[in-house]
Structure 1
Amino acid sequence: MITLNGYNLPDLALIEYAKSASKDKINHPDSEFRYMVFKPSRTTVVLGQSNTIEKSVNVQRCFEDNVEVMKRPSGGEAVLISPHTLIISFCILDSKLPRSSDIFSFALGCILTALAANGVTNAEFRGISDIAIEGKKILGCAIYRRPGMVLYHGVLNVSESPQNIGYYLLHPTKEPDYRVHRNHESFVTSLFQEGYHINMDILKQSIQSALAETYTYY
């Protein structure tokens, strides 16, 4: 009833470049950093590499509403993306790569800096790699590693309704401790829902600037 499509979001070009270039980076020490921040054009469910449709998606609802389901190369749990979210994607190419914990710290630090520049001062690092406001998640992320490269994917909820997320996604098979078994509607929030009415283009530029200005080779 639902077809699982291959990953086809705008940062696919970044992923394909990273996979190709990483073959040279294994034996060459020069570090390379590329990034992309974009707003999806439509509502889509994106599965993590280990997810299945049956365990992650409300199949009937996605079918009835023509919501595309695809799988990304990175790990983590299924997410709902839409024009009300921002995708933060970057790759690091090098023969010696940062630890995953360092990549999460770098990415979340950049995003928190960008949020603070737009007046969001109560967002914080939660779990392994989330950003939350008052214990409710506004950003989740995942990484994908292979020799010579690491890819980071993050989804920032600017104004997508948590009710929509709970409508199309099943409860994840894995969850951070601070979730405490809460459903999507109780666990997820958005910047808009928390009272922050931020222009997405301005926020996008802030995140891009933070990434460009902060990155240093570990």
Structure 2
Amino acid sequence: MQLLDLTLPSPEENLALDEALLSAAESGDQPVEVLRVWEPVDPLVVIGRASRLHEEVNVEVCQQRRIPFLRRASGGASVVTGCGCLMYAVVLSYQLHPELAALDVCHQYVMGRLQKSLAREVPEIDFQGTCDLTLDGRKFSGNSLRCKRTHLIYHGTLLYDFDLTLIPELLRTPPRMPDYRQQRPHESFVTNVPIPRDIIRQRLLEAWETSGEMVDWPRDLTAQLVAEKYTNPEWTSMR
């Protein structure tokens, strides 16, 4: 698996790059697997592909604070990210892992690897809900995926030193909650995992057994997606 440790200048570019990595893998005639690691500099709200913007996001607060909100290409609910939240994305091939066509197996495969690797630092880390990593019942990693014909992308957040007060300020109470949340508000549901960023990054690389860096990442496709989708207000506000 190749490693792409790359944070692009704008939030639109960073979301577009994840989608471009999946599309580029789909367009090739050989299986491609990539681990990307990145981290936003400033706060950013990212909503799921099927999310209803005004149902999940405090849009007015985001606008007042000039915090961007963008829609990603994968499912799941809205998240807040920024400095102190390490982001990862892993592109996986069905040819190499045909069992991942079953979604429950896919969640177990990816989350199991992450949990096992990070638990070397904090043994109490648990895997709860569909695809959350938790510590003492509080979530520090939310994840989502998008499946295509030959590849999938699985990506998510890893809160380690994030300003957690931003989450209830920028997000509404989610319309759907996992049972283990027990209707808790954001303030008592989300936490930072006490692992330094460099150690989290190293554990990610070990979990996915990366070998060599990706140099020829899909620059042109990323730019095209930014121009056609991620800077298009209709894409973000379509629901």
| TM-score grouping bracket, smaller chain normalisation | 0.7 to 0.9
Conserved? CA contact 2:88–2:157, under 8 Å: yes
Equivalent residue in structure 2 for 1:12, among 6, 13, 16: 16
Aligned pairs for 1:106-185 (under 5 A) are 106-117=109-120, 119-185=121-187
1:202 aligns with 2:199: yes
| Mapped partners of 2:116, 2:199: distance in 1 | 13
* Structure 2 residue aligned with 1:60: 60
Aligned pairs for 1:20-39 (under 5 A) are 20-24=24-28, 31-39=31-39
Conserved? CA contact 1:49–1:74, under 8 Å: yes
Gaps of at least 5 residues in structure 2 are 1-9, 211-239
Residue 159 of structure 1 deviates from its aligned partner by 1.9
Task: Give the length in aligned residue pairs.
Answer: 198
Q: Greater relative contact order: 1 or 2 (C-alpha under 8 angstroms, separation 6 or more)?
A: 2
Residue 155 of structure 1 deviates from its aligned partner by 0.7
1:77 aligns with 2:77: yes
Conserved? CA contact 2:15–2:72, under 8 Å: no
SS at match of 1:80: strand
Residue 126 of structure 1 deviates from its aligned partner by 0.5
Identical counterparts, % of pairs: 25
Note closer, same or farther for the CA distance 1:181–1:85 as it changes in structure 2 (3 Å cut).
same
| Mapped partners of 1:35, 1:49: distance in 2 | 21
SS at match of 1:202: helix
Deviations 1:23-65 (Å, cap 9, x if unpaired)?
Answer: 445xxxx543111122222110000001122111111211111
Residue 120 of structure 1 deviates from its aligned partner by 0.9
- Amino acid of the structure 2 residue aligned with 1:69: F
TM-score (norm. length: structure 2): 0.76
* Structure 1 residue aligned with 2:45: 45
| Mapped partners of 1:17, 1:207: distance in 2 | 18
* Structure 2 residue aligned with 1:188: 190
Conserved? CA contact 1:48–1:77, under 8 Å: yes
Conserved? CA contact 1:46–1:79, under 8 Å: yes
SS at match of 1:156: strand
- Amino acid of the structure 2 residue aligned with 1:59: V
SS at match of 2:40: coil
Conserved? CA contact 1:23–1:148, under 8 Å: no
| Mapped partners of 1:144, 1:171: distance in 2 | 24
* Structure 1 residue aligned with 2:220: none
| Mapped partners of 2:74, 2:148: distance in 1 | 11
| Mapped partners of 2:71, 2:175: distance in 1 | 16
Note closer, same or farther for the CA distance 1:159–1:68 as it changes in structure 2 (3 Å cut).
same
- Amino acid of the structure 1 residue aligned with 2:26: S
Residue 97 of structure 1 deviates from its aligned partner by 6.0
| Mapped partners of 2:69, 2:44: distance in 1 | 6
1:89 aligns with 2:89: yes
Residue 14 of structure 1 deviates from its aligned partner by 4.3
TM-score (norm. length: structure 1): 0.82
